Amino acid sequence: MKIGVAKEIKNHEYRVGLSPASAKELISYGHEVSITTGAAAGIGLNDDDYTTVGVQIADSNEAIFAESEMVVKVKEPQPDECRQLSEGQLLFTYLHLAPDPRQTDLLLESGVTAVAYETVTGPNNSLPLLAPMSEVAGRLAAQAGAHCLERAQGGIGVLMGGVPGTEPAQVLVIGGGVVGANAAYIARGMGANVTILDRSIPTLRKLDMEFHGKANCVYSTKEAIEKYAMRSDLVIGAVLLPGASAPKLISRELISKMKTGSVVVDVAIDQGGCLETSKPTTHENPTFVVDGVVHYCVANMPGAVPQTSTYALNNATLPFTLSMANQGWRKAMQQDQHLLNGLNVHEGKLCYKAVAEAQNREYTDPATQLS
C-alpha cells in the first residue's frame, strides 16, 4: 500500500503522523511510505532521518494527497486538505467531527473513508488512540493553568504550591478520566489543593487510592460544580463523551460568579468545549477573558510538546496502521470491532452515531460498509 504522511498545517502544530521507526516498520512489510519535505522539523528531525529508513520525500502536501492510498495525519484535515481527498482513499487521523459540521460536509463530499483516532476503542471501553494525547493534554493543562495564573498573564497572581506561610492555589478538575487524572497529578505535584469531580463512584474510589487521600474526590452535581468553581483559582474542564459534543457544565452565569483573575482551561474544546463561554484558541493567541476570568482553550494542546506527543501517539497508532495496510481496511475491521468503531465517514455516508446525532444527520451502521 502507498502510505503518505502530510505535513501538519494547523497553527503551531508540529506533530508527525509517522515517526521514522513507524515508517521503517511499515516498509518492512512491503509498503511504500512518503512524507512531505520538512514535515518532521518540529520534532528535531530532517528528511535524511526518513530517507535512511527507506521513506520517499514528497515536495508538497498536494503530492501526498494525490498519490497516497492511505494518508496518515495527526490533526483533523483543514478545508484545503479535505478538498484534496478522494473516493477510494483512506484517512487515518484525529477528526473530532461532532462540533465541526463544515469538516463533516467536506469529508462526505470527498468520498474518502475516514477513520478517527479518537473513536477507535479498546478493552473495557478504553480509547487507546486518544489516551496518550489525553495524558499529554492533562499534564499540559495544569502547566498552562499555572502560567495563566501569573499576574502578567491576566491571572490572579497565585503560585500553585504557595510558599510557607501562604495558601496554595485551589484547583478544580471536572472529570476524572485520563485527562483529569493527569491534570490532577501535575497540579497536586506542584503543591496545589486539588478537587476532582466525577459521576462514577468507582472512578472516584480509584483516584482517592491513587492520590492516597491527598486529592478531594467528590461526586459531580450542578451544585458541586458551582460550589467548587466559585472558590477555585484554576478550573480544568476534562469531560469526554466519546465522539460526541462535550456537555456544557459551566454556564456563563457561573463564570460571572468566579473570582476575578481565576483561570479556566477547557481541554474538551476539541469536542466543542464544556463551558458556555469557550471558543477555540491557538498556541499563538491562547487566551481570552470573559467577566474577568482567563480562558485557555487551545484546540491542539499536545502540539506544544510535539516530540513527546509524536512518539507517544505513534506507539498507540502503529498496530492499527499496520493492520489496515497489511489487510486492507475492510478486512481489518471485519476482524477487529474496536477498529470498526473508528470508522466515521465512508464514501459519502456518516458512520458514527454520536456525530450524526450531534449534527442531526442520517446515520449509516458501519458494519453495513464492510462487504
Nearest alpha-carbon partner for 183 in 231, 152, 227, 215: 215
Cell numbers at residue 48, please?
A: 535524511
Q: Do domains 2-120+305-369 and 131-304 have the same CATH topology?
A: yes
Q: Which amino acid is at 21?
A: A
Written as one string, the DSSP assignment of 172-225 is: EEE--SHHHHHHHHHHHHTT-EEEEEES-HHHHHHHHHHTTT-SEEEE--HHHH
What value does the CA radius of gyration of the chain take, rounded to a whole number of Å? 21
Which CATH code of 3.40.50.2300, 3.40.50.720, 1.10.3470.10, 3.50.50.60 fits the domain covering 131-304? 3.40.50.720
- pLDDT tens digit sequence for 118-137: 999 999 989 999 999 999 99
Angle at 122 between CA 119 and CA 127, to 5 degrees: 45
- pLDDT tens digit sequence for 8-31: 999 899 999 999 999 999 999 999
Domain residue limits, the chain? 2-120+305-369, 131-304
What does the alpha-carbon distance between residue 43 and residue 16 come to, in Å, rounded to a whole number? 8
Query: Is 3.40.50.720 the CATH number for 2-120+305-369?
Result: yes
- pLDDT tens digit sequence for 280-326: 999 999 999 999 999 999 999 999 999 999 999 999 999 999 999 99
Q: Which band of pLDDT confidence, cut at 50, 70 and 90, is reported for residue 244?
A: confident
Task: Indicate if the pLDDT at residue 262 is higher than 80.
Answer: yes
Residues involved in catalysis: 96, 270
